Amino acid sequence: MITRFKVNGFKNLVNVDLRFGPFSCIAGPNSVGKSNLFDAIRFLSHSTEKTLIDAAKSVRSEGQKNSDIRDIFNKTGNVFTDHINFEVEMIIPESTIDHLGQKAESAITTVKYILEIKYNDSEDGELLQIEKEELVPIPQNVSKNNLFFTKSSKWTNSIIKGKRPNSASFISTKTDENGQKIVYIHQDQRMGKTGKRALQLPRTILSTITAEYPTACVTRHEIQSWMMLQLEPSALRKSDEFDKRKNAKIQANGENLPATLYRLNLENPDKDIYQKLSNRLSELVEGIKEIDIDKDDKRELLTLMLKLKNGTTFPARSLSDGTLRFIGLAVLELDTTSTGVICLEEPENGIHPQKIEAMIRLLKDISTDTRYETDENNQLRQIIINTHSPIVVQLVPEESLLVAESKEAYDDLRKTKYIKTLYSPMTGTWRTKIPNDKAIPVSLNKLLSYLNPVPKSDVDTNDKNNFNSVRVADRKDVQQLKIDFSI
């Protein structure tokens, strides 16, 4: 779970400092930087398993079909910055299993990961170079004091555990007597061995960690688990082969939906998984009787099936895009093995306006409930969504909303103006009450565009090509209706 995310120099993200709760919604117009924030999270996640070059190529390249490595750096005019800095405070699990099957148990569950990279335009060395990489513990008392969102002591005590003697780093960067930067990997035990490596490497040190360094290993797996959901209807409609059913998990694009649901039903015979899913889907689609998985022994295929109360049965391939995305998220909610951070763009897509509230309720329910301690029924899961929908903005909890907007600023170093993205919370919510924090509440005029989203028409009604140009929003009866219902 990300509690604080700081990034500087990544695309149009300049000196961004965001605090997150269990459920967060970032609202803003197109091209303001909502997706760039997700790209920054994605880049960090991919850097724990790929080279820096491959991690950079995995995020979107602005306006180009092919990725340009330089595109991840902030640009003012035609000048790129040379450095990108990340600093992430997070809550990590108590344990994990590394890729060799070894168990790693973290010494402390609250840590800060720091990564600074630079662009190398010389002929020597890697194109992207690491300037600094560190993993440091955050003491329990500091962590608890830095969680400003609403939560119970039961929830806090169930996730913030462990300690680190003298607050010593797990990964640190120092400069040796020859001026060369060296990264050190420290054992969890005070007397454990320390490894060291020069920073002239194509990948982060964290990406190479195994259970030999337990807390760093758990941190690596936590960051790797950050999921950028891009649920594709074509993937959600697919049937699955039998051999996927034992360890199936829904992928970021929605693959493995039938196999995951089938596995959950087998693993939880006392929970009636199919009925739980049917009950959840009934909030979106009326007349639902049941959802189950058709097991075709002849073709060895698993297919999701939906049955209505009138007896009509539909396979997944016949369902709408919005319904399939909703089912995918609902299955994710039921899968208690899926933990960590889940990012989702525009969850309202394909959902009827009257049913968007059901989608918001589902997303909130997927995230951890901070009223109760974490357990198998209340996993440490975090949801971050972005949107430009006025309906979504009006339905999310006030403390969850961040409004993204562009603002002109001045770069003293480069002596030029540039555009940066601000993320503003609602006034009176927990983000505006943090001591010494610089969060600026969203202005009412910015918020008004989400409360009254239809601007006055500027269409020339005398234009012969617009003979029927009176919009629904401009009709007198509709205007009166909005007044009557205070819309």
| Mean pLDDT across 273-292 | 94
> Looking at residue 63, what is its pLDDT?
47
> Looking at residue 52, what is its pLDDT?
94
Could you say which of 338, 356, 390 is where a domain stops? 338
Tell me: pLDDT of 48 over 90. yes
- Mean of the per-residue pLDDT values of the chain: 88
- Rounded to whole angstroms, how far apart are CA atoms 66 and 77? 21
Residue 434 and residue 411 share a domain: yes
**Terminal CA-to-CA distance of the chain, rounded, Å?**
36
Residue 178 and residue 128 share a domain: yes
Q: Does 117 reside within a domain? A: yes
Count of domains for the chain:
3
What are the counts of helices (DSSP H) followed by strands (DSSP E) for the chain? Answer: 13, 22
Residue 326 and residue 369 share a domain: no
Q: Does 345 reside within a domain? A: no
> Looking at residue 442, what is its pLDDT?
87
Residue 334 and residue 285 share a domain: yes
Domain enclosing residue 478, as ranges: 456-484
Residue 43 and residue 127 share a domain: yes
Residue 320 and residue 378 share a domain: no
- Rounded to whole angstroms, how far apart are CA atoms 25 and 346? 10
Alpha helices, H only, 335-385: 356-366
DSSP letter at 318 equals G
Residue 203 and residue 87 share a domain: yes
197: Cβ contacts below 8 Å, ≥ 6 apart: 182, 183, 185, 205
> Looking at residue 76, what is its pLDDT?
80
Alpha helices, H only, 195-354: 214-224, 233-236, 257-267, 273-281, 321-334
Q: Does 81 reside within a domain? A: yes
Sign of CA dihedral 317, 318, 324, 327: negative
Tell me: pLDDT of 332 over 80. yes
- Rounded to whole angstroms, how far apart are CA atoms 335 and 247? 12
| Mean pLDDT across 287-308 | 94
Q: Does 98 reside within a domain? A: yes
Q: Does 344 reside within a domain? A: no
| Mean pLDDT across 249-267 | 95
pLDDT in tens, 392-403: 999 999 999 999
Tell me: pLDDT of 482 over 80. no
| Mean pLDDT across 454-465 | 54
Residue 140 and residue 6 share a domain: yes
pLDDT in tens, 445-456: 778 777 766 665
Residue 206 and residue 95 share a domain: yes
- Rounded to whole angstroms, how far apart are CA atoms 315 and 436? 55
Residue 426 and residue 368 share a domain: yes
Q: Which residues pair with 195 in a beta bridge?
A: 185
- Rounded to whole angstroms, how far apart are CA atoms 53 and 188? 30
Q: Does 463 reside within a domain? A: yes
Residue 197 and residue 64 share a domain: yes
Predicted confidence band of residue 66 (pLDDT cuts 50, 70, 90): low
| Mean pLDDT across 379-406 | 93
Predicted confidence band of residue 234 (pLDDT cuts 50, 70, 90): very high
Predicted confidence band of residue 123 (pLDDT cuts 50, 70, 90): confident
Residue 211 and residue 253 share a domain: no
Q: Does 347 reside within a domain? A: no
Beta strands 340-345 and 227-229 are: parallel
Q: Does 374 reside within a domain? A: yes
